[in-house]
Each structure stands twice: as structure tokens, then as C-alpha cells.
A and B are shown apart, each in its own frame.
Chain A
Amino acid sequence: MGTINVSKKYTAVEKAYLPAILIGMKITMKRFIQGFLFRKSWTIMYPEKRRDYSDRFRGAHFISVDPKKTENCTACFLCETVCPAECIHIVAEERDEADNSYGVAKEKKPASFDIDLLRCCFCGFCEEACPKDAIKLSTNYEMATYSREDAIVDLDHLKRPMNGRHEKKDS
């Protein structure tokens, strides 16, 4: 037993340290010239230019709607069941006959549908569990809010039109 010494002996040049500093300064000077003269940089000027994300990117949630703007959600609680972060909270109720107009009749509807974005881990399980393709994750990644309360989004917020909604992509 005992410790194994892995440190190596330094050569005289390495010990002098100054040559290494000069090499380092050469590198930074090269970068400086690249940046200063040739305007080379890896920065994306964010608000004007945006990084392209793949369609598989999992951003803010939305709830898809039918042509009459009725949510496709039937409050089946499968997303709430599968959610590992327990961030989805649904209250179900009976849907009025009048709202039951388009497509498959939905006798049940969400009275409230809240997602706590701060708890959400964006795993996308809800999207996979949903039998109606109602809840989906958009490619919208701008979810900053001014307060924690604002990060709990409700049904109206989830139904709103926004960028990154892919309503028809896989239906």
C-alpha cells in the first residue's frame, strides 16, 4: 500500500516558467488578432439571431386545439399520472353538450389544467402518455417570468397561439 506518486519531474525549461508563459501569450495574441481584425467569434447575438433547435427539442408545453378552439384534452389524468416531477394538476368536469361539437365527442373536460414549469423537468413523458395528442412540448424555450406564481401556467395560457406549436406534425 501507500500512495502512488504520479507527479513528474519538471525539466529546467519548464521550471523556468517564462517560456510557457510566452507560449500562452502567443496563443492569446493569436486569438486577439482573430477577434480584433477578422471579427471571429462564436457568440450568437441572441435577441436578433436565434439558435435553430431541432423539432424534437422539448420546450414549453401547449395544449392542441381543434378548429373550434376547443382543447383536445379530455382530462384523463394520464399525464398527471406519468409525470415524474408531479408538476401537472388537473381538475376534471363534465363538458357541455354545446362545446362537444367537433370530432370525437368528449364528455369530460379539464376544469383547470395547471403546469408548474418550475417543477417540470421537460422529460416529455406527458406528451407520450397523452392518448389525444393534446399536451405537447413546443420548441419555445423562452419561459422566464417575473415571479414564481407566473411560472404556474393555466389552461388558457397552454391553449394560446405561440411560436413553436406543431399542431399537426404527428397526427
Chain B
Amino acid sequence: MEYFDFLQLIAKILLVVGVCLGVVPVTVWFERRGAAWMQGRVGPNRVGPFGLLQPLADVLKFIHKEDFVPKNANKFYYYLAPLIALIAPLCALSVIPFGDKAIVGGREVVLQIAQMDSGVIFILAFAGLEVYPLILAGWASKNKYSVLGALRGSSQIVSYEISMGLSLLSMLIVYGSFNPHEMVSWQVEHFWGAVVNPFGALVFLISIFAETNRLPFDLPEGESEIVAGYHLEYGAMKFALFFMAEYIAMIMASALISTLFFGGYSLLPGMDFLVSFIASFFGFGSVGTTNVTAVFQFVSLASKVAFFMFLFVWIRWTLPRFRFDQLMDLGWKILFPLSLINLVVVTLGVYYFNR
């Protein structure tokens, strides 16, 4: 590997991880503030302007809290769980393309950390890892509520992974590729995936709510029944890790659904014009135009992710939590058969159009 390759890889990793971790506090702030607005309250407004420094204060508080380990906990797994919870979605993010390509120093830089042909498989693998922190945390805590939360979480994630995988499969048939980059290219050439397969998009959307344990599917945490579920025995920074992991998982899920169904980094309508206007205004050559396009591609992906993050918050304050049997009914009796039928229909459609 050349020196330049190494550098640009490091730069891309730093960019993605930095943006993700930097966005988390803002998301936390927005979730609380948005919730307050939706409920006719004010929300955190004491620390800093508009309460923007509230997450910072929370972090300070987390740092100063007692680093508590339950007496009979399995120490190794107890410490391992929040780490996996944080790292797995971050890894999954590495195959999400956040732009087409940029040209730096006369060389082409692909705006994706890991250019894998089997990128979607990689994402699925790491999304599947998300069940481990739940089980490990719940079991290692040596607490009945935690175990109940872990049981709920694992069965829920496993159940919804099936419908999620099936709707993903239907899109793979449409795109004919595992490579996220090629998927986006297909959408740039044709339509957004959601237009081709709206039903798959809906199932996928519901499934990622379940995958990330967000309302209305936050049964593993279920404050009213099992206190705090799997992370009941976690405090201080270890809890903060779980907390951050939840938001990074949300970012990952939003990026994933944007990439698969909503055109990924493809420019939003109207941005083409903006790019060409800027390029002509500043008199950029082809290199400059490519770079400006890359910036706007990143911006459009970011705004799509932001929309889905908002959707997460929006849904959270709209819907109450499901009952566990309703959750399983929805997963196995409705989403699973529907996504199977959808897969068959999409397959037939693709066969018909490509004949």
C-alpha cells in the first residue's frame, strides 16, 4: 500500500468516526428538545445557549459517577458488552459510501472506507452483532430484570432480522450487486430504491426500528416493566457507552436505509443545478467540479440521515410501546410473510423487465 493510500484511509476513518461521535450529543440534545416541543414543554435550556451544552454536562456527570460493578457479575462480559455495542455499528458504517469520488493531488479517492464487493453482507454481519451486547450485558449483570431485557432484545432482533434480510434481498435482486457503491450508482441512473420497491422500503424501515431498539420497539429497556432492561446494572461511563451506541446505531441504520432505498449519496433534486452553478461561477475545471460534487453528495447523504434521525424521534413521541406478543405477531405473522411475498413479486418483476 502506498503512503497516500494509507493517509487517505486514515482521513476517511477520522471523518466518519468524528462526524458520528460529534453528532451524537447534538442528537441527544435534539431528541430531548424535540420531545419537549412535541409535548408542549421547554426541554433542557439551562446549560449553554438553548441548552446545547446539556450533553456535555451529562458527560461530566457520567464521568464523576461511581464506577459500579455488581457483586456477582461476570466481569469480562460485563465490560465487553458496551464495547461491542459501540464498535459494531461504527464498523458497519465503514462500508457506507458517503460520496462518489474526490480528486486530491491528482489522485482519485473513493469516498468509502472499505470498498468491498460484499459490503451489504458485511453490514448484515455487523448489524447481527448488535444482539451480543444485549445478551452479554443482561446475562453478565446477574439481575433478573437484565436477563428479561436481554431475552426480549435477542428474540426481537433475531425476529426482525429475517424480514429486514428479506426486504434487503429484494433490493439485491433489483440492483444485482452487493456493493453499496454500485447500488447507489444504479439509483443515480434509474430511480430511488423506494420508488422501485416501496413495500420493501416500508418493511425495512419498520425492521430497523426494531433492530435499534427504538420506540415503539424498545421492549428490552421497558422502563415501566423491567426498570431499564439489559443495562440496568450499568452506571457511569459504561452506561454512557450504551447510550452513545444507541445513537450511533441510529446513525448507521439511517445511513443504511438512505443508501439502500433513498439514493444514498445521490444529489437531492435541485443540487445538480447548484453544483454546475458553483463550478461555472468559480470557473472550476473537471477536478474542481468533481470535488464540489463530492461535497454536495456528502451533504445530501447527511441530510437524508438527518431526516431519518428526525423520523426516529418523531415516531418515538407518537407511538406507545408494543406489547411483547404484539411485537412477535407483527414480526412473524405480518412482516415475514409480506416480505416473502414482496420478494417473489420483485423477483418476477425484475425477471419481466430484464427479459
Classify A-B as touching or not with yes or no (CB < 8 A).
Answer: yes
Contact surface of A with B, Cβ cutoff 8 Å: 21, 24-25, 27-29, 31-32, 34-36, 40-43, 45
Which A-chain residue is minimally distant from B316 (CB atoms)?
A28
Please state if B319 and A41 are interface contacts (CB–CB under 8 Å): no
Which of the residues B37, B39, B41, B319 comes within 8 Å of A36, measured between beta carbons? B37
Please state if A31 and B318 are interface contacts (CB–CB under 8 Å): no
1/0 contact string of B297-327 vs chain A (CB within 8 Å): 0000000000000000011011100000000
- Interface residues in B33-83 (C-beta closer than 8 Å to A): 34, 36-42
A32 to B41, CA, bound (A): 10
Residues of B with C-beta under 8 A to A45: 42
Please state if B42 and A21 are interface contacts (CB–CB under 8 Å): no
Please state if A43 and B42 are interface contacts (CB–CB under 8 Å): yes
| Sampled A-B contacts (9; CB under 8 Å) | A21-B319, A28-B314, A28-B317, A28-B318, A29-B314, A32-B34, A35-B38, A35-B40, A42-B40
Interface size of B in residues (CB-CB distance below 8 Å): 13
A40 to B34, CA, bound (A): 13
Please state if B41 and A42 are interface contacts (CB–CB under 8 Å): yes
Residues of B with C-beta under 8 A to A34: 37, 40
Residue with the greatest number of chain B CB neighbours at <10 A, chosen from A21, A28, A31, A45? A28
Residues of B with C-beta under 8 A to A40: 40
Please state if A24 and B37 are interface contacts (CB–CB under 8 Å): no
Residues of A with C-beta under 8 A to B319: 21, 24
Q: Lowest 3 A-B CB distances belong to which pairs?
A: A35-B37, A24-B318, A43-B42
Query: What is the predominant secondary structure among interface residues of chain A facing chain B?
Result: helix
Q: What is the minimal beta-carbon distance from B327 to any residue of chain A, in angstroms?
A: 13
- Interface residues in B264-315 (C-beta closer than 8 Å to A): 314-315
Please state if A43 and B37 are interface contacts (CB–CB under 8 Å): no
Please state if B41 and A41 are interface contacts (CB–CB under 8 Å): yes
Residues of A with C-beta under 8 A to B34: 32, 36
Residues of B with C-beta under 8 A to A41: 36-37, 40-42
Residues of B with C-beta under 8 A to A42: 40-41
Residues of A with C-beta under 8 A to B42: 41, 43, 45
Residues of A with C-beta under 8 A to B318: 21, 24-25, 27-28
A95 to B13, CA, bound (A): 83
Residues of B with C-beta under 8 A to A43: 40-42
Please state if A31 and B39 are interface contacts (CB–CB under 8 Å): yes
Q: What is the minimal beta-carbon distance from B32 to any residue of chain A, in angstroms?
A: 12
Please state if A31 and B314 are interface contacts (CB–CB under 8 Å): no
A31 to B37, CA, bound (A): 7
Contact A28-B38, Cβ < 8 Å, known A21-B318, A21-B319: yes
Residue with the greatest number of chain A CB neighbours at <10 A, chosen from B314, B315, B317, B318? B318
Residue with the greatest number of chain A CB neighbours at <10 A, chosen from B34, B42, B315? B42
Q: A35-B37, A41-B40, A43-B40 are in contact. List 20 more A-B contacts (CB 8 A).
A: A21-B318, A21-B319, A24-B318, A24-B319, A25-B315, A25-B318, A28-B318, A31-B38, A31-B39, A32-B38, A32-B314, A35-B36, A35-B38, A35-B39, A35-B41, A36-B34, A41-B36, A41-B37, A41-B41, A43-B41
A41 to B35, CA, bound (A): 12
Q: What is the minimal beta-carbon distance from B331 to any residue of chain A, in angstroms?
A: 14
Residues of A with C-beta under 8 A to B40: 31, 34-35, 40-43
